[in-house]
Amino acid sequence: MTIVRTAAAALAGLAAALTAASAAQAQSSLTVDWSKPEIRSFVDDKARGVAPTALAQEQDRLGKLKLPVLGFARPPAQLTRSLGVSAAAAPKSKLVMDDDNPVWYHIVERYDGITITVDADLRLQENLPPSAKVYGRVPPPDSTTKISVIDGTTEPGMDGAVAEYTVYKFPNIPYRVTIECQKKAIDYCRNPEAITKDSDTLKVISARPPQ
């Protein structure tokens, strides 16, 4: 009798632990506001066949993602100008995601001397107790952080440069844009004004609201 009760208690404890783990996992994910006009506009455009067609070969995989996908539907104008051409060739693009758990993605685009990566993740990267107070780390909804630049002036011996900023949308999903410039294209990474202008062309390129 004691053994039966002990086993039952163990199973009950395991069930409680699994329930708590599931709850913790659910709490550690960001929520998407699918009602945002930018998303609704994309869905309408897609229905009419006029939505952006970036990564056309990956549309089926992009459609699995549980968050709106931001990307550059065309080569950004200021980047193109920095390459000294009137029209940049289409970049070599790669989509990285977990098809079994499609809550994050990386889009990598390689130009001549410049690589741009856009990434986003619904999973929170840290678990804090409910009583924890966080100061100055939660950005306002639909905002963009200041562009940070790392080059040889901050990292001695570094030949190129890296620029980075994060856009918070829908309403507070962090979409990080990382720009890596080789030495021949370093001026672009050192030009926050040009990068800011190009950030305006970061658009929704895939979104599948839950039915």
What mean pLDDT, rounded, does the chain reach? Answer: 83
**What integer is the mean pLDDT of 84-104?**
93
- Nearest CA-CA partner of 147 in 78, 197, 79, 108: 197
Q: Which two tokens stand for residue 18?
A: 């699994």
**What integer is the mean pLDDT of 150-165?**
92
As a whole number of Å, the end-to-end CA separation of the chain is 50
Query: Confidence class of residue 52 from pLDDT cuts 50, 70 and 90?
Result: confident
Scanning the structure block, which residue is given the tokens 């039952």? 8
Query: Confidence class of residue 7 from pLDDT cuts 50, 70 and 90?
Result: very low
Task: Look at residue 11 in the predicted model and tell me its pLDDT.
Answer: 42
In angstroms, rounded to a whole number, what is the distance separating the alpha carbons of residues 171 and 32? 7
Scanning the structure block, which residue is given the tokens 């329930």? 19
**What integer is the mean pLDDT of 134-159?**
76
Name the H helices within 72-205.
77-82, 186-189, 192-199
Name the H helices within 28-148.
37-47, 59-62, 77-82
pLDDT digits (tens, 9 = 90+) for 111-140: 999 999 999 999 986 554 554 443 334 456
Query: Confidence class of residue 28 from pLDDT cuts 50, 70 and 90?
Result: confident
Query: Confidence class of residue 141 from pLDDT cuts 50, 70 and 90?
Result: low
The Cβ of residue 44 has, within 10 Å, a number of other Cβ atoms equal to 11
Cα–Cα distances in Å, from 37 out to 45, 77, 170?
12, 25, 10
